[in-house]
Structure 1
Amino acid sequence: MRAFILCLLLPLLAACASVERLALPAPTPLENSALTRLADPPGIRVSHSEWDRFLSTYVSTDSSGVNRVAYGQVSAADRARLEAYLNTLQAVDPATLTRDQQLAYWINLYNAITVDLVLENYPVASIRDISEGPLSIGPWNRPVAVVSGQTLTLNDIEHRVIRPTFQEPRIHYALNCAAVGCPNLMDRAWQAGTLERDLAAAERAYVNDPRGVRFDDRGRLILSKIYIWFREDFGPNEQAVIAAISKAAEPELRARLQQARRVNAYKYDWALNDAAPGL
């Protein structure tokens, strides 16, 4: 009976994920093109040392491979340093940065703001509990930064700056929404010099983690919801997404993916990536 009920639920879960996809902003550039203008090399150096130090202090990997943040242990001094780092980033003119410098800049800004929002509202069970009102689920439309005179939300940074400017699907393995189901928040800052290597590593890590891709005990293919929320970034249709994922999969998983005809369900764990889960 349990298997029968699961069989009925899986198509409904996939349909629900499709509806969620429709609610997400389209990757449409902001009118302020100054935010996405790229500089010729060498660009300018932006220090991410404070963010680097914060991450190395408060991010650790649990036994299941999830990178968790010790939000409850962040000292007042380190919180102040994080705020100062965010102020420093907002004072940067992105047009003075090369492509890789700018992509690292935006990823770090997004992730640091996300952690700061959680700290502002901690303790919470999920980032989606940080809402703007009864019709809001999460803080993504809240004004959180001012860069080059432009007020930005997290949705602006992801969908109106990063996605249309860089057209790099692997940014979905780099941007972290403070959820267990999300690709890991790195325990160090993103840097222009290691950007390609770190994007490739983040992609491999998530594809080969059950949070990203797995087959259940009945052989059904279960993918993270990021592969339907942002499907156009990975491929024009479901089969193209499976093919893209398989390129980063380990041999055994790749072989199974190459035989998969469809995705049976999309899932995502919105529990906070807290080092003290359940608070």
Structure 2
Amino acid sequence: MKKITIILILLLTQLGFSQSTADFFTKSDAFFKSYVVNGKVKYNAIKKDPVALNELLDMAATITVSKSEPKTYQAFYINAYNLAVIKGIVTKYPVKSPLNIKGFFDKTTYNLGGKVTTLNDLENKILRKNFPNEARFHFALVCAGLGCPPIIPEAYKPSVLGKQLQRQTVKALNNPSFIRVKGKKVQLSQIFEWYKEDFTRNGSEIDYVNTFRKEKIPSGAKVSYYPYDWSLNRVK
């Protein structure tokens, strides 16, 4: 009888875990669909009615995800990062740039997945450290600046995460404003400079970019980095 009780408790726990993550992804999807337009965020509208955002972050605080289910883990924390960025902006809105908010990336904390973390630690210690070969994170994590690849009007979901990351990476690396090619010279986003190790594990930065490009960049192209645009990615 005791053994049956333990099994029932484990099954109910797993059911609750599954249900909470499913609810989180469903409600996150509805939120992003409502407040993201053409890669930009309706911060003003969220500021006026923050109920949905606050509900999602409250949910994210109580959800537990495991690295043993990597797609769920990654999708949860990508969404959590993007929601936390939006929360950080909305809290101080109106603001022209995330850099105008002191400690935006390294001091302000959020309770996500039962852990108190900053945006920097979420990106570097929770995602990049645990999945060092997944550089496509950089095209999904949106820092609120226009220099970032655009935020998408949907949640990242475990069942289609690979396709979503691939789509966003291909989109960014074929965008002439993001990868600026002129003859044998190429200007890359400073994302490639800041996280160089992520993009050069199996070759050069050009090798990485060409993996996703339709029109390949010459292997001997001279690489430089254009200044990052930290202007707020807001819907005007």
Structure 2 residue aligned with 1:18: none
Give the superposition deviation at 1:121: 0.9
Q: Secondary structure at the match of 1:258?
A: coil
Give the superposition deviation at 1:211: 3.7
Give the superposition deviation at 1:161: 0.7
Structure 2 residue aligned with 1:268: 228
Q: Secondary structure at the match of 1:51?
A: helix
> Structure 2: where are the runs of 5+ without partners?
1-16
Q: Secondary structure at the match of 1:166?
A: coil
Partners of 1:149 and 1:49 in 2: CA distance: 20
Structure 2 residue aligned with 1:22: none
Q: Secondary structure at the match of 1:171?
A: helix
Give the superposition deviation at 1:52: 1.4
Partners of 1:85 and 1:260 in 2: CA distance: 47
Give the superposition deviation at 1:124: 1.0
**What letter is aligned with 1:215?**
V
Are residues 44 and 84 of structure 1, via their aligned partners in 2, closer, same or farther at CA, if it must alter by over 3 Å? Answer: same
Q: Does residue 246 in structure 1 map to residue 206 in structure 2?
A: no
Structure 1 residue aligned with 2:4: none
Are residues 125 and 118 of structure 1, via their aligned partners in 2, closer, same or farther at CA, if it must alter by over 3 Å? Answer: same
Are residues 260 and 275 of structure 1, via their aligned partners in 2, closer, same or farther at CA, if it must alter by over 3 Å? Answer: farther
Q: Secondary structure at the match of 1:74?
A: helix
Are residues 74 and 143 of structure 1, via their aligned partners in 2, closer, same or farther at CA, if it must alter by over 3 Å? Answer: closer
Contact 1:100 1:192 in 2 (8 A): yes
Structure 2 residue aligned with 1:175: 141
Give the superposition deviation at 1:73: 2.3
| Percent identity of equivalent pairs | 27
Per-residue CA deviation, residues 152-172 of structure 1 (Å, 9 max, x unaligned), is 111110001100111210000
Q: Kindly tell me the number of residue pairs found equivalent between the two proteins.
A: 217
Partners of 2:210 and 2:29 in 1: CA distance: 31
Structure 1 residue aligned with 2:107: 142
Normalised by the size of structure 2, how large is the TM-score? 0.84
> Structure 1: where are the runs of 5+ without partners?
1-42, 62-66, 133-138
Give the superposition deviation at 1:148: 5.9
Are residues 71 and 234 of structure 1, via their aligned partners in 2, closer, same or farther at CA, if it must alter by over 3 Å? Answer: same
Per-residue CA deviation, residues 37-65 of structure 1 (Å, 9 max, x unaligned), is xxxxxx7351222221221112111xxxx
Give the superposition deviation at 1:68: 1.1
Contact 2:75 2:158 in 1 (8 A): yes
